[in-house]
Chain A
Amino acid sequence: MAKYIIKRVAISLVTIWAIITITFILMHSVPGNPFRSESKMPPGVYENLLKKYGLDKPLPEQYTIYLKRLLKGDFGESMKSRVETVNDMINRGFPVSAYLGLQALIIALCFGPALGVIAALNQNKWPDYLSMVIAILGISVPSFIMGTIFIQFLARNISWLPIAGWGTFAHTILPSLALAMMPLAYIARLMRSSMLEILGQDYIKTAKSKGISKSAVVLKHAVRNAILPIVSVLGTLVSNLLVGSFVVEKIFGIPGLGMSFVSSISNRDYTLIMGTTIFYAIILIVMLLLVDIAYVFVDPRIKLTKEGR
């Protein structure tokens, strides 16, 4: 297994390098630069700014300079924010987004599979329809609408919770809920179809023929096997949640990473674009690796060996 992990990490480094290169090329091939839009700027100042951030040098040179700094773990200075470096922004925003994302993930993982199992066990009866209505709403209603509905009913009408802001646990509840709805619904639907498939398997009949209780059949035999497809989507889901959602963070005024991610692009903040992209890529790759390792524990048929792949 150690060998497998080392190999995967090596491959991941290549992947990250490719992502860096492609992002760098794409970013610079878009016309304009971070300072062009500020039209009132005198030409001298403009040139000085370009010089300060090294943007006057030829692209290949900029690329090698960037890579060298990156190797030292330095994402560089933000071209828009004069007080924070990109590292500062990630260090400040990520814990906030990750906290929110984790909380949303816990909500999604507590209710999503349960909803799916209930639906599958009551196929074509009202609990099934109810669960699937919730799931379809969760998937099709965008989080900004979900968020504003939550604010309207839970924060304004009955003022149980703060409307927006960041600081206490109460502040995290509504955004976590808004963030959790989509993955929750997605997991519920996945779990339902997976459960329906597993419940039709021969080994469920074998389990029933042993005379064990219905709940033991469902939990030990059906859910245990139906959870496998959920594990495989978890990698992408978790990394999306951790890095944060621009929309939800914007609505609830949360100083997370999702905000920097989107604003970096509209601002043409080159270093911030690179920084957030690389950061997201690393998280995604780590999560996918974790999921593959987790598979060994949930599915005995999978073994990670050096010949494995």
Chain B
Amino acid sequence: MENILEIKDLKISFKTFFGEVEAVRGINFDVGKKETVAIVGESGCGKSVTANSIMQLLPMPPAFFKGGEILFNGENLLNKTEKEMQKIRGNKISMVFQDPMTSLNPTMRIGDQIVEGLKKHRKLTAKEAEKKAIEMLELVSVPQPEKRVKQYPHEFSGGMRQRVMIALAMVCTPELLIADEPTTALDVTVQAQILDLMKKLQDKLDMSIILITHDLGVVADMSDRIVVMYAGQIVESGLTDDIFKNPHHPYTKRLLASVPSLDMSKDEPLHAIDGTPPDLYIPPKGCAFYDRCDRALKICKDYMPESTQHSDTHCSSCWLNHPMAQKVNGTERREA
């Protein structure tokens, strides 16, 4: 499959008063044409920073790129000027944000907000633009689109606003859609509708999606591949089936175990991963999950685990999965 986006050894840091925070510490992944890749991880693991960095929407400073490449159709986005990025944003790559309640301008009509990007990229007349806005609202199943284009965001419910956000992102038929927790702020029933809508539009418009979420339920339905992030690094990546049926990294395993299920009895406590992620002011020398891992080895503390390939599509970064690890397993296990 041809890759539309390739991220190579991307490193992003934030300069703060107390020092440098290494938010993203050398990640590699790619997104194929028409593929949906989910980035999963807990808050603060760097998934949103990664997403925003592709669009170059990070506030710089304090953020800065320490290294790596973001190749979009073979061109490195990090070398683009602001003007060149403006031609890509909203046109080739667009983004849907987490909170539809605050992501729309309260003093601008919905229709104008939807076509604002289109007007810039395609140079439409006002009439054509309004027609297009109505079309887009129809596409995302907002009822009475002719009336709705003239309304303001406060006249829409949360789910409807997220539909508007999707319409706004899709209006230029981008090649890549980055959805940064698109359903987190919505009710569960509305979540399903929004995900359905995104899937339908993906088929219709042939685009790739990067779906950022901490909700594994969302991931299971939507994504072709999953990238699991922890403390600014990718700990495991693979096809959705690889990750759900055959997780290799202890973090992925425990993440999956912490999803509550309906057949759990009432008395059974919910599984949680104890502890907190490491402070990225002083990133750990070894595996970032060391402190919280119940299967950690001595080596984990001081040496960064190498990536182990389990199949063509599946790899993880854990010393337990290292080909050499089988021999020492058991003897060198740390007291948990």
Contacts and interface: CB of A to CB of B under 8 A. Distances in A.
A206 B165 contact: yes
Contacts, number: 80
Contacts of A216: 120
Interface in B75-102: 82, 85-91, 94-95, 97-99, 102
A211 B57 contact: no
Contacts of A212: 86, 90, 116-117, 120
Nearest to B119: A212
Contacts of A221: 105, 108
B98 to A, nearest CB: 8
Given A214-B82, A300-B152, A301-B152, A209 B105 contact: no
Interface residues of A, number: 22
A196 to B, nearest CB: 13
Contact of A211 (B89, B152, B154): B89
Q: Which of B55, B57, B91, B106 has the most CB of A within 10 A?
A: B106
Interface in A158-178: none
Interface in A221-236: 221, 224-225
Contacts of B117: 210-212
A209 B108 contact: no
Given A216-B120, A301-B154, 19 more contacts: A202-B97, A202-B98, A202-B102, A205-B103, A206-B104, A206-B113, A208-B89, A209-B169, A210-B117, A211-B117, A211-B121, A212-B86, A212-B117, A221-B105, A224-B108, A225-B105, A225-B107, A301-B106, A301-B107
A224 B105 CA distance: 10
B103 A203 contact: yes
B296 interface: no
A57 interface: no
A225 B108 CA distance: 10
Contact of A206 (B82, B88, B97, B152): B97
Nearest to B55: A209
22 contacts: A202-B97, A202-B98, A202-B102, A203-B105, A206-B97, A206-B113, A206-B168, A207-B105, A208-B57, A209-B89, A209-B90, A210-B94, A210-B116, A211-B87, A211-B121, A212-B90, A220-B108, A220-B116, A221-B108, A225-B107, A300-B107, A301-B107
A19 B21 CA distance: 60
Interface string A281-309: 00000000000000000111100000000
B56 to A, nearest CB: 9
Nearest to B154: A301
A201 B107 contact: no
Interface in A268-289: none
Contacts of B87: 211
Nearest to A224: B107
A296 B104 CA distance: 19
A212 B97 CA distance: 17
Interface of B: 55, 57, 82, 85-91, 94-95, 97-99, 102-108, 113, 116-117, 120-121, 152, 154, 165, 168-169
Contacts of B98: 202
A37 interface: no
B57 A298 contact: no
Nearest to A208: B57
A275 B57 CA distance: 59
A140 interface: no
Nearest to A301: B154
A213 B169 CA distance: 17
A216 B97 CA distance: 20
A71 to B, nearest CB: 43
B104 A210 contact: no
B57 A209 contact: yes
B120 A299 contact: no
Q: Which of B89, B91, B104, B105 has the most CB of A within 10 A?
A: B105
Q: Which 5 residue pairs spanning A and B have beta carbons closest together?
A: A210-B117, A211-B89, A211-B90, A210-B90, A202-B102
A225 B107 CA distance: 7
B99 A202 contact: yes
B175 to A, nearest CB: 14
A206 B154 contact: no
Contacts of A208: 57, 89
Q: Which of A203, A206, A208, A300 has the most CB of B within 10 A?
A: A206
A211 B107 contact: no
Interface string A222-253: 00110000000000000000000000000000
B104 A203 contact: yes
Contacts of A298: 107
Contacts of B152: 300-301
